[in-house]
Amino acid sequence: MPIVEVKDADGTLIQTYEIHADLSGGYLTLEDLFDWAKQNAIEDALVTPEQAKTLTFSIPR
C-alpha cells in the first residue's frame, strides 16, 4: 500500500494517506495516487477545492 504525503503551498506536511487500491485489471500511476490524496484532503475538510490546486505530493522512502 503506497503512502502519500500531502503538503500545503508552504511545504508544511498537512496529512499522510495510505492508499488502498484494488489493482486487478488495471494500472496505478503516481497521478492516480496524487489525485486520490487531493480528493481525500478536500473530503476531510483540510483544504478547499481552490486550495487543493496548490498542494504538493510525495511518496516517502
CA–CA distance, 54 with 7 (Å, rounded to integer):
9
pLDDT band for position 25 (cuts 50, 70, 90): low
Maximum pairwise Cα distance, the chain: 38
Range of 27's domain?
3-58
- 50: part of which helix (H) or strand (E)? helix 49-52
Q: What pLDDT shows up at residue 27? A: 81
Count of structural domains, the chain: 1
Percent of the chain with pLDDT over 70: 97
Residue 2 pLDDT class (50, 70, 90 cuts): confident
> Tens digits of per-residue pLDDT, 33-50?
999 999 999 999 999 999
